[in-house]
A and B are shown apart, each in its own frame.
Chain A
């Protein structure tokens, strides 16, 4: 028989201050260690690849630019060779970058609450002294900060990588597929995908279905932004305008448009977090 005695009875602690938020840092780290290690690790590998390929691409296009003085035929050959190698690769990576927020955000977001609900551990997590709304909010915010940082860094690296091929192809940073991979838009889309994943995880309560629906919802949101919303603040460029320029074409309203896009995505994310917390508060069981 256990002979250990319980510690002295605590007092009534009348004026209780809430537990400090910083305690959630270790908790979040320990509970989401797999996500918090694997996402930066995978993106680190991607970054290394982008860095190495970027050096090659920069070198190739610098050589092409230097070529313009030389014989026209030689330059043509070199340019067409780059089109089938560097440009194809750059374009493939561009497509992947368009999907990256859904992958990063979905895989990080959907399990946050769905796994707790699926395994029953929410009955542990939500009955501790920290309070379930505060602890849920802290976990969402802390993971969001990490995702914003790593996706922001990845976006910057990709912008550097993609500069010369884009310039050479006369593509505009305002083009829909490029616009979302740059500046503020890329981390904002990542956060939107993350909060969609968290919300749907709470709503659907199962990781895999939540993940699938998150991808669908992200796709729908992306189409909506492309076909409807973005037209309101980013004037379309004349299509098929292929110009070889030494500098990147200046897109009017590029940064204001970035701020607007990031702004409404963050507002949407905040709304989704609020809706998630409402569900946590009101629709547990």
Chain B
């Protein structure tokens, strides 16, 4: 089952596109990182997945074909929006009670235990909590709903380094319990610890999407004489060419590890961060959907 499926999804504000032709399929049980610079369309995509933003093109379904934003879909999604909005005049206990009333499932014990562990008093007003504590409260509310899919928009932004570690631990625990996770961030290095699936957005377009291991296995860095760079580039599917005085580094897509290395060139595996940054730098035309294309779903009948 795919927890997220989008097909040609797009959103324009007037004539300004925020997201264009986004086709994705995220299998269940994964921790997907949505990465890209500010204004890349990360929040737009997430908001469309929970029905807060109405697409101007294409469609989005979640949790195995539920239309995004439908009550049935929201029932299984724990969503924490950017800046983790909570009612500032309500106490933490009231926020728990509120969320329990608004949802089919709510694990009060879990929520209380997590807040206690974080040292957030139940009686304190949400508005009196620090930014990091508000983010933790919002995350606790989302987790206590026992979602099948967690969607977290910039969850690390308000957290200090220690709280980030704790948060990432919580995400890993959720993963181990079978919850699928989609989280956005521009803190790439930290995401590498938890995410096993990457979706790279830039200028409102999906530049790259796929399983982390597949992405790494599907690319290599070729290093060789700068004079031959153009010839080599012509023979490969190139993501990026970087030239130094004597040597050139060509990041190419490969079909498998058996693909021969051109004579006189050296092949190196690439790191995720290096790979993602290369795709972010690459102009839109150079980008192709990565291995995600293989995972693209058959058109799914919307379950009623």
Chain A interface residues (CB < 8 Å from chain B): 1-10, 13, 16, 18-19, 23-24, 26-27, 30-31, 34, 119-132, 134-135, 282-285
Contact B148 A10 (CB under 8 A): yes
**Residues in B32-81 with C-beta less than 8 Å from chain A:** 47, 50-54, 70-72, 74-77, 79, 81
Q: Given the known A-B contacts A6-B110, A6-B177, are A19 and B104 also in contact in the complex, defined by CB atoms under 8 Å?
A: yes
Minimum CB distance partner of B63 in chain A: A12
* A150 and B18 alpha carbons, distance in the complex (Å): 47
Contact A284 B54 (CB under 8 A): yes
Q: Which residues of A contact B145 (CB under 8 A)?
A: 129
Contact B103 A6 (CB under 8 A): no
* A5 and B169 alpha carbons, distance in the complex (Å): 11
* A23 and B72 alpha carbons, distance in the complex (Å): 17
Q: Which residues of B contact A4 (CB under 8 A)?
A: 110, 113-114, 117, 170, 173
Q: Is the interface of A mostly helix, strand, loop or mixed?
A: loop
Does chain A have a CB within 8 A of B90?
yes
CB contact between A10 and one of B51, B83, B143, B146 (< 8 Å): that residue: B146
Q: Which residues of B contact A7 (CB under 8 A)?
A: 107, 110, 146, 177
Contact B74 A129 (CB under 8 A): yes
Shortest A126–chain B CB gap in Å is: 6
Contact A123 B94 (CB under 8 A): no
Contact A31 B98 (CB under 8 A): yes
Q: Which residues of B contact A1 (CB under 8 A)?
A: 165-166, 169
Q: Which residues of B contact A19 (CB under 8 A)?
A: 102-104
Q: Which residues of A contact B77 (CB under 8 A)?
A: 127
Contact B177 A5 (CB under 8 A): yes
* A23 and B88 alpha carbons, distance in the complex (Å): 21
Q: Which residues of A contact B124 (CB under 8 A)?
A: none
- Other contacts beyond A2-B169, A30-B94: 19, CB < 8 A: A2-B117, A2-B118, A2-B170, A4-B110, A4-B170, A7-B177, A9-B146, A9-B148, A9-B177, A9-B179, A10-B148, A13-B75, A16-B104, A27-B98, A120-B81, A120-B83, A128-B99, A132-B51, A285-B47
